Structure 1
Amino acid sequence: MTEEIWKDIVGLEGWYQVSDLGRVRSVDRDFVDRRGHRRFFPGAMIVITDDGAGYQKFLSHKAGVKKNLTVHTCVLEAFTGPAPAGLECCHGNGNRKDNRHSNLRWGTKAENAKDRELHGTAIKGADSPNSKLTEQDVTSILRSPDSHAEVASRHGVTAELVGLIRNGKAWKHIERQPGMYAKRKKAWLVNGKAYDTLPEAAAAEGIAQHVLRYKCQGRTSNGKFYPPAPGFGFVESSASQAVPE
């Protein structure tokens, strides 16, 4: 039987270790506290839980700081090394709970997606446990002529997610049809002046970009949509007009 190998977790040396089988433990600690008393804490196996998306995580405690860490990342960093730029963890057999070092590698996002398709673990759209939207909702989002913020407020999601959906970076499996949202020319309106880009408008008007965005597009806070400020606005246009809901 192959012996289990343990290594220090990167950033938690002297506190926690991870094994090549994907287990986590704390290490024995003998130290002197602030009152000058010598104290000893024996090491112990750490409880690993599910993060809701199928990945395994645990809660670390170091010098009063708590942090949730994913087991697969700890294993790869300890046994393979830090992630090269642009790469992420890939599970060779598609099982997110199998964090043996032999099952893990650093790979590109495309390689990871291909692995999920190959193993049938890619969860799309409404079938995802984290999805707040249905395919009908997404179709409605794509057909709406309203701003990202307004649409997001109606559906209880973020404007960022609406933007990802409309630009084909989320819910890609929904077929785009004529009349649906298309990439549009934008205009930032400030007191009768139109600017092509947000940075251009912010520089010309002397207003911070994040403030100007709120003034022109409005914003959603605590589920309530606040409209654009008087004299400010944001318009989009394209050859393919959206169909009103």
Structure 2
Amino acid sequence: MRNNEVIEHQIEVFQNEEWLPIVGYEGFYEVSNLGRVKRLSNSGTCKEKILKPQLQRDGYKRVDLSKKGQKKRFPIHRLVATAFIPNPQNKEQVNHQNGNKLDNRLDNLNWMTRKENIAHAHETGLVKKNENPVIATHLDTGEQRQFKSQKEASCELGVYPKNISNVLNGRIAHVSGWSFERSSLNQKSS
């Protein structure tokens, strides 16, 4: 694209931009369906301004919002989802459908449970395969389950693969009520 074409495309995109108040910060900040956040002007010295997001180590963009002298940092994808996407089932996580954590457009976001989000990460290849068999033991019931891989255990139990790895490597003792150990058996899961 030539420079003129790029500018025309950006103008067209921004013409379709919709803004809604940020819950808890009404009258101070708004978020758009394109994943942008702006501070609203007030009768004092503040002019309307698009906030520059900060890229965090976890790969998500966040912005700092202030109200009554208190500053708080928010992930932009959660601000967009909370403002634009109904969540009648109270699902706790916001999923990036294309797997790109930087793409906070409304079209790319949806609410999911933790288990659904983990399954999506596996289906889209966002999580590396680990075919080492593991045994999971439930701490309350003593139930043991054999899995052919950490991936399978993650999907079935709704536990993040990194947390399973942390238990296996002794960094934490258990996660979500399960302890894990390596298995040399190559059986299917129960």
TM bucket, shorter chain: 0.5 to 0.7
Q: Superposed, which structure 2 residues align to 1:64-143 within 5 Å? A: 64-81=69-86, 84-122=89-127, 139=168, 141=170
Secondary structure of 2:182 counterpart:
coil
Aligned to 2:26: 13
Structure 1 unaligned segments of length 5 or more: list them: 31-38, 126-131, 142-156, 179-245
What pairs up with 1:157-168 in 2 under 5 angstroms?
161-164=172-175, 167-168=178-179
Counterparts of residues 133-212 of structure 1 (less than 5 Å): 139=168, 141=170, 161-164=172-175, 167-168=178-179, 175-176=182-183
Displacement of 1:124 in angstroms is 7.6
* Maintained 8 Å contact 1:77/1:83: no
3-state SS of 1:52 partner = coil
SS state of the match for residue 115, structure 2? helix
Tell me which amino acid in the other structure corresponds to 1:163.
Answer: H
The aligned counterpart of 1:129 is none
Structure 1 residue ranges (4+ consecutive) displaced by more than 4 angstroms after TM superposition: 137-140
Q: Give the CA deviation at 1:53.
A: 1.2
Tell me, which stretches of 5 or more residues in structure 2 are unaligned? 1-11, 131-161, 186-190
C-alpha separation between the residues in 2 aligned to 1:166 and 1:176? 19
The equivalent of 1:25 in structure 2 is 38
Larger gyration radius, structure 1 or structure 2:
1
SS, match of residue 17 in structure 1: strand
Structure 2 residue aligned with 1:189: none
Contact 2:99 2:126 in 1 (8 A): yes
Deviation digits for residues 132-179 of structure 1, max 9, x if unmatched? 99x6x85563xxxxxxxxxxxxxxx5xxx32229924xxx7x73359x
1:63 to 46, 59, 68: 68
Distance 1:69 1:83, change over 3 A: farther
- Count of matched residue pairs: 140
Q: Displacement, 1:6?
A: 1.0
Question: Any conservation in 2 of the 1:4–1:19 contact (CA below 8 Å)?
Answer: yes
Q: Which residue type is aligned with residue 110 of structure 2?
A: R
- Pairwise CA RMSD: 3.0
Aligned partner of 1:27: which letter? Answer: L
Cα drift, residue 25 of structure 1? 0.8
The equivalent residue for 1:45 is 50
Q: Normalising to structure 1: TM-score of the pair?
A: 0.50
